[in-house]
Chains A and B, each alone.
Chain A
Amino acid sequence: MTRTLLGRSGPWLAALAAAALALPFVSSPFAIDIFIRILLFAFVGVAWNLMGGYAKQLSLGHAAYFGLGAYTSTILMIDYDVSPWIGMLAGGGVAMLASLPIGALCFRLRGPYFAIATIATAQVLMLLFLKFRDFAWGAEGTTIPNLGSAPLMMQFEGKAPYYYIALALLALGLVITHRIERSWVGYYLVAVGEDEDAAEAIGVDALKIKRNIYMLSAFLTALAGTFYVQYIYFIDPNTAFSFNVSVEAALVSIVGGIGTLWGPVVGTILLEASSALLQSWLGGGHGGVQLTVYSLILIAVILYRPTGLIGLFADAYARIVRTGPGAAKEVPLDG
């Protein structure tokens, strides 16, 4: 459905982009902070979704690449005075390289075993950065030197520039996903996700395509890691390799609609917005209440809409424009 939506929704897309671009001018700094988080985690979700959604390789270890991206650019910046803009790409490169041995190990396993193995890889990396102090500040972490307004070093006075960087990252992720979805690669990924043996039987090199999409997914996730630590001016292993990052990357896609272009975006908006709202309504005084409500929302979505919320929007859209059976044309991933 996503492709029909996109194909007919040029004006909608333009309106959405305009709204996204105008948002910083009408928001409070507190709201912008929430929007930046939404954009960033939507981007991580989009990166995760390429592998976890289309090829159904459910990774719960994307924090490994988020952390590698964060540490690579920070080490390059503090120890070698390299701009985080370059460090960001270097971090992506490190993540791609790291994904090769990790993939070689984990892709031997399927289903839940794969997910568990990926959790382990992220945890191992976190422990390495905790223990080896000479290498990267150990458990205390470090603050990133504040250079004031230094766009070349990815540091800005207000929050708006960070917002636009996160928006650009998300746009990049969506464009890449869209192009993959429309090409043979998208068909091959879904085929591997559906039935690896059957895909091999019709000429799909399953190992190679999984390895390649994992590299791309790791690269994009690492970009988000660099951006995040530059935004919060702090890095330590628990932040950079946080299990929450791994879970959130998977969760926003699952809630929004796994293996769909806009699923991670819809999922992040819902989860982050409800989390922020619940925290401001219920946060003070009632310890844990907002977490309970948040969990109930999650349970409800997974019980009643296991294919994700994007299906709701797609169904509603289909009802409004009353598309015939031919409307599904050119939709490889119709589910």
Chain B
Amino acid sequence: MVEALVIRGLGKRFGGLRAVQDLNFSVDERETVALIGPNGAGKTTSFHLITGHLRPDAGSVTAFGRELVGLRPHDICAHGLARTFQVARPFGKMTVLANVMTGAFLRDRRIEAARDKAHAVIDFVGLGAKAQTPARDLTTIDQRRLELARALATEPRLLLLDEVMAGLNPAEIDQAVALVGKLSERGLTIVIVEHVMRAIMAVARHIVVLDHGQKIAEGSPPEVTANPEVVRAYLGTGYAPAVRGAPC
């Protein structure tokens, strides 16, 4: 297996706060890995460090054999890493179509080609009916869909999803899980930050657990949920029996 993403000794401080320290993990190509942990554990900071929105104090990030530390976000995107933001950040005054076309221009500067590709991606995420809606008029959930579409339009090999399912109802979570599954089948490597355990269990084969900026556990979903350290720090004692009862 080729390693899509290798993180070695990654560290970031904000003043006295160690947001991420000595983080190590790797993601195989075509694998889906979940990053979980309580609020403030350093999940989103890790994403920022990987995608170049923050510069790490220590460590290295290698994707598909290339060192990413020191590159700017647009270079990293061009290298095949796309992300969504925890709070969706659509270009509000553009239409859905224009938002996604802006992503598509990375690989093809021609208007017609970008428009065709944008339409295909918009249909894929289920926003087809709203292609001409200004992005600021979308619901929160549709804004997340839009952000996913915009990221996909850049033709990534590795997709980083930051809490795309927060605030969704159970039916919508099922849709989102199916969508992530489809992306994975298409050969995308996915790193997902998520609090919805049901969704994580459904999509991830490997889980990395963070707490206070450090990795406290790593393994398959059953291994992680059985780990007492993880139960204490994140899942809570009430969770373990429920997992045993759930078919996953």
Which residues does A use to contact B, with CB under 8 Å? 182-184, 187-188, 190-191, 194-195, 197-207, 325-326, 328-329, 331-335
Contacts and interface: CB of A to CB of B under 8 A. Distances in A.
A199 B99 CA distance: 10
6 contacts: A182-B111, A194-B92, A201-B85, A202-B102, A203-B154, A334-B134
A335 B93 contact: yes
Contact of B78 (A203, A325, A328, A331): A203
Given A182-B111, A332-B98, A332-B101, A201 B93 contact: no
A202 B106 CA distance: 8
A292 to B, nearest CB: 34
Given A182-B111, A188-B105, A326-B132, A203 B91 contact: no
A194 to B, nearest CB: 4
B132 A203 contact: no
Given A191-B91, A191-B102, A332-B95, A197 B73 contact: yes
A197 B95 contact: no
A273 B78 CA distance: 49
B174 to A, nearest CB: 27
Contacts of A333: 93-94, 98
B95 A331 contact: yes
A187 B98 contact: yes
Interface of B: 51-53, 72-74, 77-78, 82-83, 85, 89-95, 98, 101-103, 105-106, 109, 111, 114, 132, 134, 150-151, 153-154
A200 B77 contact: yes
Contact of A201 (B77, B105, B109, B132): B77
Contacts of A328: 95, 132
Nearest to A328: B132
Nearest to A182: B111
A335 B82 CA distance: 27
Contacts of A200: 52-53, 72-74, 77
Contact of A195 (B53, B73, B91, B153): B91
Contact of B153 (A191, A194, A202, A204): A202
A205 B105 CA distance: 12
Contacts of A187: 94, 98, 101-102, 105
Given A194-B92, A195-B91, A198-B91, A206 B74 contact: yes
Contacts of B98: 187, 190, 331-334
Contacts of A191: 91, 94, 102
What 7 A-B pairs come out closest when comparing CB atoms? A203-B106, A332-B98, A200-B73, A194-B91, A198-B89, A203-B77, A335-B93
B74 A204 contact: yes
A200 B73 CA distance: 6
B85 A325 contact: no
A32 B173 CA distance: 66
A334 B96 CA distance: 11
A21 B109 CA distance: 36
Given A200-B52, A201-B53, 10 more contacts: A184-B109, A187-B105, A197-B89, A198-B90, A200-B53, A200-B74, A201-B74, A202-B82, A204-B102, A332-B101
Main DSSP-derived SS at the A contact region: helix
Contacts of B150: 202
Nearest to B52: A200
A194 B93 contact: yes
Contacts of B109: 183-184
A247 B94 CA distance: 27
A191 B92 CA distance: 9
B94 A205 contact: no
A315 to B, nearest CB: 15
Contacts of A197: 53, 73, 89
Nearest to B98: A332
Contact of A190 (B72, B82, B94, B151): B94
Nearest to B79: A203
Contact of A335 (B51, B101, B102, B134): B134
Contacts of B151: 201-202
B134 A195 contact: no
B89 A183 contact: no
Contacts of A199: 91, 102
Given A326-B132, A334-B94, A202 B154 contact: yes
A334 B91 contact: no
Contacts of A334: 93-95, 98, 134
A190 B95 contact: no
A203 B74 contact: yes
A182 B98 CA distance: 11
A205 B72 contact: yes
A188 B90 CA distance: 13
A108 B246 CA distance: 52
Nearest to B108: A184
A190 B91 contact: yes
